[in-house]
């Protein structure tokens, strides 16, 4: 969607982006605080999550959670909140005609929560149910086990369930007080933001009733350690196949051109049904689906691959992975293949921002993470600028630090896990 972006920095420390989309019929709001899991005490890991659940409830104006939700949703508006390793984000979307009412309600919830004992007790039960449901997600279980082993911010859902008994409503109030201050708040608001509307937003956020605090809380300095000789095996007799992840890290943050190049290599390898790894594996009837992607911490970058595959097909799938990644490392990329991947990336980019929410999310993730404002209109140019040389260089660098690991969930046994790990080890061996 055609749009313009402006950054505002207010005297109270609140900062954010206003995304003006002329003629938009909806408005979206995202309010972010560095308040995630990494700030919790180890034996009270679920405090941020519980706080997020209780915050959008009773407040000084509407002293009952159900009544507040009824008021917010009466014209079809939507609200939610999410807790991650680093952040808590409160979000809402509403019809254009009630944007100011919904913004006021969200500000009320964020600044004047009551954290009632009975609502805490209810949400304690709801979070317990949520965590039990999450623990049935095998990919999530394996991912958390591996993050923990790599030394990243993580605990498994079963661990988190066990630790919840230590948490009181006072812990929730204390976490709110430590994290919800104006210098720690960032936002992205998108919609038909006329000059008059922008002025109202400036005034409302500039006088938000939160303490100023010192400065935005810093991200944790996670430094992943290698699991090369110690693959993670999570036994589970209830699954008939295996779930696996393979992660490799470089001990620094990739620069944007490097991320662009690695993302295109990822496209060539797994992102389509005609890609080198997934396409070949599907053609041979080895696997139904496969995922891969890039992620970043404050001081490292990660490339991961994952799939669900039968024991008998796993060695053949990993051989395809090994062969095709080695080809990219060695520069075996045809010009036509490179151009086709660029066209795919361009089309995917254009599809990603067809809505107000999609446009906003294209900015929010990076902005909330490290304060960088992506230049949306330069992304096609960045894609076209990717060269084969860049792709080969960054692919090799992702394996050069030899910080990697493999994890398997299933009933295949530890020896089978070790044999699959040995099979892919050549990716990290130097010539």
CA distance 120 to 54: 6
CA distance 44 to 171: 8
How many CB atoms within 10 Å of residue 239? 14
Mean pLDDT computed over 349-363: 91
Nearest to 119 by CA among 109, 111, 106, 105: 109
CA distance 205 to 15: 9
On the 0-12 / 13-18 / 19+ scale of CB atoms within 10 A, 324 is: buried
pLDDT at 245: 98
Mean pLDDT computed over 206-226: 96
Residues 153-212: tens digit of each pLDDT: 999 999 999 999 999 999 999 999 999 999 999 999 999 999 999 999 999 999 999 999
pLDDT of residue 80 exceeding 80, the answer is yes
pLDDT of residue 338 exceeding 70, the answer is yes
Delineate the domains of the chain, giving CATH numbers in brackets: 4-206 (3.30.830.10), 232-428 (3.30.830.10)
Quote the DSSP letter at residue 164: G
pLDDT at 171: 97
pLDDT band at 250, cuts 50/70/90? very high
Mean pLDDT computed over 95-110: 97
pLDDT at 387: 97
327 contacts: CB under 8 Å, gap ≥ 6: 276, 333
pLDDT at 352: 84
Angle between helices 314-329 and 256-270 (to 10 degrees): 140
pLDDT band at 374, cuts 50/70/90? very high
CA distance 262 to 256: 10
Return mean pLDDT, the chain: 96
CA distance 225 to 149: 8
Residues 121-164: tens digit of each pLDDT: 999 999 999 999 998 999 999 999 999 999 999 999 999 999 99
Residues 385-429: tens digit of each pLDDT: 999 999 999 999 999 999 999 999 999 999 999 999 999 999 999
Q: Is 63 left (phi over 0), alpha (psi -120 to 50) or beta?
A: alpha
Task: Estimate to the nearest angstrom the gap between the alpha carbon of 110 and the chain centroid.
Answer: 22
pLDDT of residue 105 exceeding 90, the answer is yes
Q: Are the C-beta atoms of 39 and 86 separated by less than 8 Å?
A: no
pLDDT of residue 431 exceeding 70, the answer is no
pLDDT of residue 430 exceeding 90, the answer is no
CA distance 210 to 212: 6
pLDDT band at 354, cuts 50/70/90? confident
Residues 3-52: tens digit of each pLDDT: 999 999 999 999 999 999 999 999 999 999 999 999 999 999 999 999 99
pLDDT of residue 336 exceeding 80, the answer is yes
CA distance 245 to 314: 12
pLDDT band at 353, cuts 50/70/90? confident
């Amino acid at each position: 969607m055609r749009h313009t972006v402006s950054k505002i920095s207010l005297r109270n420390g609140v900062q954010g982006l206003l995304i003006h989309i002329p003629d938009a019929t909806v408005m979206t709001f995202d309010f972010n605080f560095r308040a995630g899991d990494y700030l919790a005490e180890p034996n009270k890991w679920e405090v941020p999550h519980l706080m997020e659940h209780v915050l959008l409830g009773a407040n000084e104006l509407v002293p009952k959670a159900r009544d507040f939700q009824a008021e917010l949703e009466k014209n079809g508006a939507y609200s939610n909140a999410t807790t991650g390793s680093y952040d808590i984000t409160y979000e809402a979307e509403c019809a254009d005609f009630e944007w100011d009412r919904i913004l006021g309600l969200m500000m009320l919830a964020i600044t004047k929560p009551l954290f009632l004992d009975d609502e805490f007790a209810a949400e304690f039960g709801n979070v317990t149910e949520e965590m039990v449901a999450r623990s049935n997600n095998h990919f999530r279980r394996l991912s958390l086990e591996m993050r923990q082993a790599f030394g990243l911010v993580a605990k498994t859902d079963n661990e988190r369930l066990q630790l919840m008994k230590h948490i009181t409503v006072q812990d929730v109030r204390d976490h709110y007080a430590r994290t919800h201050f104006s210098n720690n708040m960032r936002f992205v608001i998108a919609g038909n933001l006329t000059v008059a509307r922008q002025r109202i937003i400036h005034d409302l956020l500039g006088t938000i009733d939160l303490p100023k605090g010192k400065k935005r809380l810093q991200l944790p300095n996670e430094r992943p350690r290698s699991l090369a000789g110690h693959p993670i095996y999570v036994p589970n007799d209830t699954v008939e196949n295996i779930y696996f992840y393979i992660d490799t890290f470089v001990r620094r943050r990739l620069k944007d051109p490097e991320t662009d190049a690695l993302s295109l290599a990822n496209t060539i390898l797994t992102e389509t049904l005609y890609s080198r790894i997934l396409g070949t594996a599907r053609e041979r009837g080895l696997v139904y689906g496969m995922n891969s992607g890039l992620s970043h911490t404050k001081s490292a970058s990660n490339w991961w691959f994952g799939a669900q595959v039968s024991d008998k097909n796993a060695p053949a799938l990993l051989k395809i992975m090994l062969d095709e990644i080695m080809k990219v490392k060695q520069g075996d990329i045809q010009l036509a293949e490179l151009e086709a991947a660029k066209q795919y990336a361009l089309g995917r980019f254009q599809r990603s921002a067809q809505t107000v929410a999609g446009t906003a999310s294209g900015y929010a993730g990076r902005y909330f993470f490290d304060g960088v404002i992506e230049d949306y209109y330069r992304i096609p140019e960045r894609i076209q600028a990717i060269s084969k040389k860049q792709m080969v260089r960054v692919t090799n660098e992702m394996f050069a630090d030899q910080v990697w690991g493999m994890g398997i969930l299933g009933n295949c046994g530890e020896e089978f896990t070790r044999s699959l790990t040995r099979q892919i080890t050549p990716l990290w061996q130097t010539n």
